[in-house]
Amino acid sequence: MAKDGTDARPLVRDEGGVFDLNRSAFTQQEIFDLEMERIFERGWLYLCHESQVENEGDYYSTQMGRQPVYVHRGKEGKINAFINACAHRGAVLTPQRRGNARTLTCRFHGWCFNTEGRCTKIKTEKVGWPDGVDKSKFSLQPIAKVQSYKGFIYGSLTDDCPSLEEHLGESKVFIDLLAEQSPEGMEVVRGGQTYLIRGNWKLQAENGVDGYHVSTVHRVFAGAMAKRESMAPAEGMAKTESGRIAGKVETGSYDIGMGHMLIWAKRSDLGAAPLSASLDQLRERFDEKTIDWMAGRGRNLFVYPNVHLMDQPSTQIRVLIPIAPDRTEARVYCIAPKGEPREARIARVRKFEDFYMVTGMATPDDMAALEDVQRGSMATNMPYSHVDRGRSVMVEGPDETAKELGLNPVSSNPNWENETLYYGFYRRWNEDLGGA
Partner 1 sequence: MTDVIERAAVSGAERDLMLEAEVRDLIYLEADILDRQRWKEWTDLYTEDCIFWVPSWADEENMIDDPETEINTIYLKGKAGLEARLFRITSRDSYASLPLARTSHVIGSVRITGQDASSVQASAKWTVLSMDARRGKMVRGGWYDFDFARTEDGLKIRQKKIALLESMIDGTIDIYQI
Distance CA 50, CA 54 (A): 6
Q: Which of 107, 109, 123, 198 binds partner 1 (CB under 8 A)?
A: 198
- Report phi then psi at 334, rounded to 5: -90, 125
**Least Cβ distance, residue 306 to partner 1 (angstroms):** 17
386 binds partner 1 (CB under 8 A): no
Q: Which of 131, 231, 287, 435 binds partner 1 (CB under 8 A)?
A: 231
Q: Between 162 and 191, whose beta carbon lies closer to partner 1?
A: 191
**Using CB under 8 A, which residues numbered 96 to 135 contact partner 1?**
96-99
Distance CA 90, CA 66 (A): 14
Helix axes 342-356, 219-231, angle to 10 degrees: 130
208-235 per-residue burial string, b: 16 or more CB within 10 A, e: under 16? bbbbbebeebbeebbebbeeeeeeeeee
**Least Cβ distance, residue 122 to partner 1 (angstroms):** 28
Distance CA 224, CA 222 (A): 6
- Report phi then psi at 388, rounded to 5: -115, -25
**Least Cβ distance, residue 399 to partner 1 (angstroms):** 32
Distance CA 266, CA 248 (A): 9
Q: Between 104 and 217, whose beta carbon lies closer to partner 1?
A: 217
Q: Between 92 and 361, whose beta carbon lies closer to partner 1?
A: 361
**Using CB under 8 A, which residues numbered 232 to 251 contact partner 1?**
232
Q: Between 254 and 356, whose beta carbon lies closer to partner 1?
A: 356
201 binds partner 1 (CB under 8 A): no
First to last CA, the chain: 11
**Least Cβ distance, residue 198 to partner 1 (angstroms):** 7
Q: What residues does 142 pair with on adjacent strands?
A: 82
Q: Which of 24, 114, 193, 411 binds partner 1 (CB under 8 A)?
A: 193
Q: Between 350 and 389, whose beta carbon lies closer to partner 1?
A: 350
Q: Between 147 and 193, whose beta carbon lies closer to partner 1?
A: 193
Q: Between 34 and 234, whose beta carbon lies closer to partner 1?
A: 234
Q: Which of 29, 103, 158, 194 binds partner 1 (CB under 8 A)?
A: 194
Q: Which of 371, 384, 414, 430 binds partner 1 (CB under 8 A)?
A: 371
Task: Give all strands of the β-sheet with 98-100 in edge-to-edge order.
Answer: 79-83, 67-73, 58-64, 98-100
Nearest Cα to Cα of residue 259 among 148, 170, 322: 170
User: Looking at 85-93, 145-153, 204-212, 356-364, which segment touches partner 1 (CB under 8 A)?
Assistant: 356-364
List C-alpha distances in Å: 200 to 6, 349, 425. Answer: 20, 28, 15
Distance CA 157, CA 73 (A): 18
350 binds partner 1 (CB under 8 A): yes
User: Looking at 75-83, 260-268, 355-363, 421-429, which segment touches partner 1 (CB under 8 A)?
Assistant: 355-363
14 binds partner 1 (CB under 8 A): no
Distance CA 3, CA 45 (A): 34
The contacts of residue 314 (CB under 8 Å, 6+ apart) are: 274, 334, 348, 349, 351, 352, 355, 356
Distance CA 233, CA 238 (A): 9
Q: Between 223 and 397, whose beta carbon lies closer to partner 1?
A: 223
365 binds partner 1 (CB under 8 A): yes
Q: Between 49 and 172, whose beta carbon lies closer to partner 1?
A: 49
- Give how many residues touch partner 1 by CB under 8 A: 49
Quick check: helix, strand or coil at residue 187? strand
Residues that bind partner 1 (CB under 8 A): 96-99, 189-196, 198, 217, 219-221, 223-225, 227-229, 231-232, 329, 333-334, 342, 345-346, 349-350, 352-353, 357-361, 363-369, 371-372
